[in-house]
Amino acid sequence: MPTTLVTGASRGIGRAIALQLAAEGHDIAVHYSSHQRAAEEVAELVRAQGPRAVAIGADLSDPANTDALIDCAEGELGPISILVANAGIASDPTGVTGITDEAWDRMLAVNLTSPFRIARRLAPAMAEAGFGRIVMVSSIAAFTGGLVGAHYAASKSGLNGLARSLAKEMAGRGVTVNVVAPALIETDMVPVGVRDALAQHTPVGRLGRSEEVADIVAAVIRNGYMTGQSVLLDGGRHFT
């Protein structure tokens, strides 16, 4: 069974990805930042399907935690051959003048720099083994600017450039690197009023579901030919 690290896997999209990949036979390192109980529940659900799982807490805004997370995951489950960099933070919507230096730095640290650090650590071993998959979960905001603010959009746009550069470097070595960029997904983290308002502006008439994002991520992982791509999953909003 491949060992897969899913960051931000305690809730929402990350949870769905972890469970989808477990159903396909992956051992799962379930990363969480603060929701330990939810992460442990995900790990239990993974183990109920047969694969192994471990829940590991780490604040990815701190560079020191990157290596500790990987060391713990590989100590429990063996070498990581698949990374799904899903962990991310957002904020209340704000204009650029409302973004402090501290808010900017933390947004990029979690959303962009931590995927870079984890990929930097894992990619060489993947290439040496001749197999690896890296999927970075971005956002429609990378293409549109989004609703949260410039710091969020910049962090998600940066994943596109990071993935393309790394994909080019790893091409021919058995390692693919891609981005999956969903629009707002219906989870318990999104207020009902916000869901309803945005659904009215989505051509398919509803928001996406976490399981639909997980399905695309799993398909990207299974495909050894696609690399350096950004898959936009937005219910047709790019038409408008």
83 neighbors 118 (Cβ within 8 angstroms) = yes
Is 32 noted as a catalytic residue in this protein? no
Which of 32, 51, 66, 152 is catalytic? The answer is: 152
Instruction: Break the chain down into helix, strand, coil percent, rounded to 5.
Output: 50, 15, 35
Half-sphere exposure of 16 (CA within 13 A, CB side): 18
CA distance 176 to 229: 10
Give a three-class secondary structure readout of 104-166: HHHHHHHHHHHHHHHHHHHHHHHHHHCCEEEEEECCCHHHHCCCCCHHHHHHHHHHHHHHHHH
Looking at the annotation, which residues are catalytic? 152
